[in-house]
């Protein structure tokens, strides 16, 4: 784990409490490569990541060879997938935002080529909380943290707008310790509504486009990197575990499809607005079914990884920071 440098600039904006104890049940296709290079779908393959203690092409990689900060003013915007929520390493700011020193903004900031960090991430954030909403005292709209000289912005947003809580609520509705009890067919019950929300939120002139327009207006020279959502589900059925067995094969497949749809939409919106997105991938299982010390995400119980249910782990945050580094 990288140790963040304590030179974080005092933030002017923070947003949203960790509103969702269960965020989303997601999945992704198998890893496609073993080099730190951009993929056609915007994903970043960060080697095979077979080691849980060192990430090839990591945050100390290519950027670290530059003389002086390549990005002097870095602002991190987004929801709980960026804030992280590990309360053993609080990063300050409004308590409800649940920012951690182990989140990917702080891990990226540990690179000498990245300058002062303003961490405006906040658990539960929606697009409105970046643009106009003060969710609670001390957490004004995140966009207010941007300045004209901001030259690097990372963005994790949209998942809560399309109903992460609704998705996970449907999939887990009938789970019990001894196995499933006729789980809902979530594709049938909410699939259409979720697909419609993805199209509205991430589509042309949707809420995510409004976020990009606001970022470009506030910080016209900034490099903007959107981070896709780390998948919770294993890519292959033979990597299954109790949770994936309990939700049933139909919901498992639907969860994978919804994850791909959301991440494809994140990437499409970024590209449409002249930016790009990243997603670390691995040829090793990093899902909630993986061993505790290899997981990038957790299912319902995050206690062993000091993270909230259905959220990334510190290792997942490290992988995301490495993917951003490889991309910029």
Residue percentage of the chain with pLDDT more than 70? 77
- Mean pLDDT of the region 226-241: 89
Higher pLDDT, 164 or 47: 164
Q: Which of 80, 145, 219, 282 is labelled catalytic?
A: 80
Contact 85, 125 (CB under 8 A): no
Tell me whether residue 100 is one of the annotated catalytic residues. no
Q: How far is CA 326 from CA 35, 95, 114, 285, in A?
A: 10, 32, 13, 21
Lowest mean pLDDT: which of 84-98, 216-230, 293-307?
A: 84-98
**Degrees to nearest 5, angle at CA 117 with 109 and 292:** 45
Confidence check: pLDDT of 90 > 50: yes
Contact 162, 262 (CB under 8 A): yes
- CA 11 – CA 118 distance, rounded (Å): 5
Contact 118, 7 (CB under 8 A): no
* Per-residue pLDDT at 239: 67
* Per-residue pLDDT at 177: 55
Give the tens place of pLDDT for each residue, 208-223: 999 999 999 999 999 9
* Per-residue pLDDT at 19: 28
Give domain 37-327's CATH superfamily. SGNH hydrolase (3.40.50.1110)
Phi, psi of 30 (to 5 degrees): -60, 155
Grade residue 294 by pLDDT with cuts at 50, 70 and 90: very high
Torsion angle of the four alpha carbons 46, 50, 52, 57, in this order, in degrees rounded to the nearest 10: -30
pTM over cut 0.95: no
Residue percentage of the chain with pLDDT more than 90? 65
* Mean pLDDT, the chain, integer: 81
Confidence check: pLDDT of 130 > 70: yes
Confidence check: pLDDT of 85 > 50: yes
Grade residue 35 by pLDDT with cuts at 50, 70 and 90: very low
Tell me whether residue 80 is one of the annotated catalytic residues. yes
In the numeric block, which tokens belong to residue 21?
A: 């104890």
State how beta strands 71-78 and 152-156 pair: parallel
End-to-end CA gap in the chain: 21
State how beta strands 37-38 and 44-45 pair: antiparallel
Q: Which of 47, 100, 282, 311 is labelled catalytic?
A: 311
Listing DSSP states for 220-264 in one string gives: TT-EEEEEPPPP-S-SSGGG--HHHHHH-HHHHHHHHHHHHHHHH
Residue 61, classed as helix, strand or coil, is coil
Q: How far is CA 37 from CA 2, 170, 278, 323, in A?
A: 22, 36, 10, 9
């Amino acid at each position: 784990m990288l140790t963040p440098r304590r030179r974080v600039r005092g933030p002017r904006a923070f947003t949203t409490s960790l509103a969702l104890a269960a965020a989303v049940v997601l999945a992704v296709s198998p890893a496609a490569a073993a080099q730190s290079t951009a993929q056609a779908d915007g994903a970043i393959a960060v080697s095979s990541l077979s080691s849980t203690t060192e990430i090839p092409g990591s945050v100390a990689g290519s950027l670290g060879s530059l003389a002086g900060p390549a990005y002097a003013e870095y602002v991190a915007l987004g929801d709980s997938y960026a804030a992280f929520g590990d309360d053993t390493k609080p990063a300050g700011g409004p308590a409800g935002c649940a920012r951690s020193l182990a989140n990917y903004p702080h891990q990226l900031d540990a690179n000498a080529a990245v300058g002062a960090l303003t961490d405006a991430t906040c658990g539960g954030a929606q697009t409105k909380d970046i643009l106009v909403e003060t969710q609670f005292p001390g957490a004004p709209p995140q966009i207010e943290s941007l300045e004209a000289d901001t030259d690097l912005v990372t963005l994790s947003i949209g998942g809560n707008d399309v109903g992460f809580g609704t998705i996970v609520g449907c999939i887990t509705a009938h789970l019990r310790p001894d196995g499933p009890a006729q789980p809902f067919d979530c594709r049938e019950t909410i699939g259409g509504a979720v697909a419609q929300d993805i199209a509205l939120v991430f589509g042309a002139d949707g809420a995510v486009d409004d976020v990009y327009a606001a970022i470009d207006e506030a910080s016209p020279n900034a490099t903007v990197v959107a981070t896709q959502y780390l998948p919770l589900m294993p890519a292959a059925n033979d990597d299954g575990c109790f949770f994936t067995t309990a939700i049933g094969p139909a919901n498992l497949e639907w969860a994978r499809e919804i994850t791909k749809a959301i991440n494809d939409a994140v990437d499409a919106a970024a590209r449409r607005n002249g930016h790009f997105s990243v997603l670390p991938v691995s040829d090793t299982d990093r899902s909630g079914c993986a061993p505790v010390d290899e997981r990038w995400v957790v299912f319902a119980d995050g206690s062993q990884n000091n993270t909230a249910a259905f959220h990334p782990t510190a290792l997942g945050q490290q992988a995301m920071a490495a993917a951003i580094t490889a991309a910029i």
